[in-house]
A and B are shown apart, each in its own frame.
Chain A
Amino acid sequence: MKCYNCGAQLSEVSFCTNCKRDVTLYKKIIYMSNRLYNEGLEKAGVRDLSGAIVSLRQSLRLNKENIDARNLLGLIYYEMGEAAEALSEWVISSNFRDEGNMASEYIGMIQNDHAGFDVLKKCAKDYNGALEMCVQGNKDLAMIRLKKIVQTNSRFVRASQLLALLYMDSSRFDEAEKEISRSLSIDRNNTLSLRYLQTIQNLTDPADSEKKGLFKRDEEPTRYVIDNELIIQPAGVREPRSGSMGTIFNIFIGLILGLAVMYFLVLPTRINAVRDEVKASIEELQTNLDRKNADIDKLQQDLNDVNNERIRLEEELGDYTGEQGTLADIDKLIDAANLLVSTQDYEQVGDMLWEIKSSVDPSQLSESCSRLYDSLLAYVSPQLSERVSSAALGAYYASNFEESGPLFEKAYFFNESNADLIYFAAVSYEKSGDKEKAKKLYRYVIDTYPGTYIEGQSSIALNQLEGENG
């Protein structure tokens, strides 16, 4: 020990033998500093590093130039993962005494290990970042970063403690306890670590479930990292239990859930799909039915048209084939021709032609029939005209008008050049009381023979008849 005033070596006496200064108190300070260093050394020996730090700090408060205390303090910081703190103590120590100081050795060792030095620098930086994340509420990211730090630098006590606190906050007590155990293996008497451990043990004690419930937060997802991947396990999910009963129970629950899903999700969808298909089929059937009905209506209409056509044709056929039909008239015409050829009976042939004329319009006959009809009529007319005219006049003058009317008409049939015949036919019908027939014939005369005498007579007679009807 040297005198603080003159630097001379002090003896056992209470003053400096060189400068005569009283060094009693000074010696006490130095002794106390050394005692605290010894205490710190003992604590460090049993890995009570936080206790050792306290003792060594006190020692240095008394004597800042206690090189051993300062070097040990740096060593303890280094052991706890605080490389910068350790370096600062060693730098100060080497400033006090450069030669024969282990601090210079420590500094040199750290600086020569470039990779380790970079890791230490990065750990401190990452820890500060994680702490900032915690303050900002990004606990998940902070947890990931801290886990990386403790994997890289397992002696970083404060990082382990902060990670344990985050685990406890998310009710992951097993992992928290693991981290606290790790920190206690480095610093056995760390008050914070011991307090966390005690809290974890209290909360995880099965008999003290109420406390555990108090600490547990609301259901939060479980997070852990495997191969740099963050796995987030949803809240409430538990690992499957071992044992056959548990397996059977889980299968049973799975079946019930499957059936429920089928009943509530799959079946309604399927039913709706089938319902839609049936609806589409019904609509298609309805469309087909409408189309068929339309076809049926069209066919019915066609059938009606065909029936009407059939009836019309039947009627037309009747006109040809009936007793009064055209075919009958043709037969009658052929018969008349045969009769004329075979018997030369003009009167009968004439009657037959008259009957044909009465039943059918000769102009509607076929061309050959019409020619035959005209030929027969031309052949018999000269023979019958006078004869019928005489018979008609006879009946007229005998005032037998009912007979003279048709006879005059028939006579006119054989000789249309004599207009008087048809005029007297009309007069006969008028006198016999068949006014309508008379009017018809008067009109015929007026239309056929305009500007003639009998046309004038017919007009007078027609006016009289219409005036009577008036």
Chain B
Amino acid sequence: MIDFEEELKKFYPSMEIGELEETVNGADLTDAVDLYVRMGKDSAQAAAAQQPMRDMRPGRRPY
């Protein structure tokens, strides 16, 4: 048996043409590629962070 009120909740307002610009500008377009790229950059930065700092000072060469 169908409950009208419950079924009605499944219907949502249709996007109107006037809302188009706002919708496009506000759309969250983040995709898996973005996440991957971000993850790759973060990894590179982390790897760079783990490298030992070189002693660039003169006269302080290890023996």
Q: Interface of A with B (CB < 8 Å)?
A: 4-5, 21, 25-26, 29-30, 33, 60-65, 82-85, 87-88, 91-92, 95, 117, 120-121, 124-125, 127-128, 131, 134-135, 158, 161-162, 165, 168-169, 192, 196, 199, 211, 214-215
Query: Chain A at the B interface: mostly helix, strand, loop or mixed?
Result: helix
Query: Nearest Cβ distance between residue B37 and chain A, in whole angstroms?
Result: 5
**Given contacts A62-B33, A84-B16, A121-B16, A169 and B11 within 8 Å (CB-CB):** no
B29 within 8 A of A: yes
> Do A165 and B7 touch (CB < 8 A)?
yes
Query: Nearest Cβ distance between residue A89 and chain B, in whole angstroms?
Result: 9
Q: A92, A165, A168: which contacts B29 (Cβ < 8 A)?
A: A92
* Neighbouring B residues of A5 by C-beta, 8 Å: 37, 40
> Do A88 and B31 touch (CB < 8 A)?
no
30 contacts between A and B (CB under 8 A): A4-B36, A26-B33, A61-B31, A61-B32, A62-B32, A63-B31, A63-B32, A64-B30, A64-B31, A82-B14, A83-B17, A84-B14, A84-B20, A84-B23, A85-B14, A85-B15, A87-B17, A88-B20, A88-B23, A88-B27, A124-B14, A124-B17, A131-B11, A131-B13, A135-B8, A161-B11, A165-B2, A165-B8, A192-B10, A215-B1
**Given contacts A91-B24, A165-B4, A60 and B31 within 8 Å (CB-CB):** yes
> Do B20 and A29 touch (CB < 8 A)?
no
In whole angstroms, how far apart are the Cα atoms of A117 and B32 in the complex? 35
In whole angstroms, how far apart are the Cα atoms of A295 and B27 in the complex? 111
Query: By CB atoms of chain A within 10 A, which of B4, B14, B17, B19 has the most?
Result: B14
| Tier of interface size on chain B | 20 to 34
Q: A21, A62, A168: which contacts B31 (Cβ < 8 A)?
A: A62
* Neighbouring A residues of B23 by C-beta, 8 Å: 84, 88
* Neighbouring A residues of B24 by C-beta, 8 Å: 88, 91-92, 95
> Do B8 and A128 touch (CB < 8 A)?
no
> Do A64 and B14 touch (CB < 8 A)?
no
Query: Nearest Cβ distance between residue A187 and chain B, in whole angstroms?
Result: 15
**Given contacts A87-B20, A169-B4, A196-B2, A158 and B33 within 8 Å (CB-CB):** no
> Do B33 and A4 touch (CB < 8 A)?
yes
**Given contacts A84-B16, A124-B15, A134 and B8 within 8 Å (CB-CB):** yes
> Do B33 and A29 touch (CB < 8 A)?
yes
* Neighbouring B residues of A82 by C-beta, 8 Å: 14-15
Q: A63, A120, A131: which contacts B17 (Cβ < 8 A)?
A: A120
Query: Nearest Cβ distance between residue B52 and chain A, in whole angstroms?
Result: 23
In whole angstroms, how far apart are the Cα atoms of A92 and B48 in the complex? 36
**Given contacts A60-B31, A165-B8, A196-B2, A124 and B16 within 8 Å (CB-CB):** yes
> Do B27 and A92 touch (CB < 8 A)?
yes
* Neighbouring A residues of B27 by C-beta, 8 Å: 88, 92
> Do A63 and B2 touch (CB < 8 A)?
no
In whole angstroms, how far apart are the Cα atoms of A25 and B31 in the complex? 14
> Do A158 and B4 touch (CB < 8 A)?
no
Query: Nearest Cβ distance between residue B6 and chain A, in whole angstroms?
Result: 11
* Neighbouring B residues of A125 by C-beta, 8 Å: 16
* Neighbouring A residues of B4 by C-beta, 8 Å: 165, 168-169
> Do B2 and A199 touch (CB < 8 A)?
yes
**Given contacts A92-B27, A134-B8, A165-B8, A4 and B13 within 8 Å (CB-CB):** no
Query: Nearest Cβ distance between residue B27 and chain A, in whole angstroms?
Result: 7
In whole angstroms, how far apart are the Cα atoms of A87 and B10 in the complex? 23
Query: Nearest Cβ distance between residue A88 and chain B, in whole angstroms?
Result: 5
* Neighbouring A residues of B2 by C-beta, 8 Å: 165, 168-169, 196, 199, 215
> Do A128 and B14 touch (CB < 8 A)?
yes
* Neighbouring B residues of A211 by C-beta, 8 Å: 1
In whole angstroms, how far apart are the Cα atoms of A127 and B4 in the complex? 17
In whole angstroms, how far apart are the Cα atoms of A21 and B36 in the complex? 12
In whole angstroms, how far apart are the Cα atoms of A162 and B2 in the complex? 13
Q: A92, A158, A214: which contacts B14 (Cβ < 8 A)?
A: A158
Query: Nearest Cβ distance between residue B33 and chain A, in whole angstroms?
Result: 6
Query: Nearest Cβ distance between residue A43 and chain B, in whole angstroms?
Result: 21
In whole angstroms, how far apart are the Cα atoms of A124 and B14 in the complex? 6
* Neighbouring B residues of A63 by C-beta, 8 Å: 31-33
> Do A162 and B11 touch (CB < 8 A)?
yes
> Do A29 and B36 touch (CB < 8 A)?
yes
Query: Nearest Cβ distance between residue B57 and chain A, in whole angstroms?
Result: 32
Query: Nearest Cβ distance between residue B34 and chain A, in whole angstroms?
Result: 8
> Do B19 and A84 touch (CB < 8 A)?
yes
> Do A64 and B33 touch (CB < 8 A)?
yes
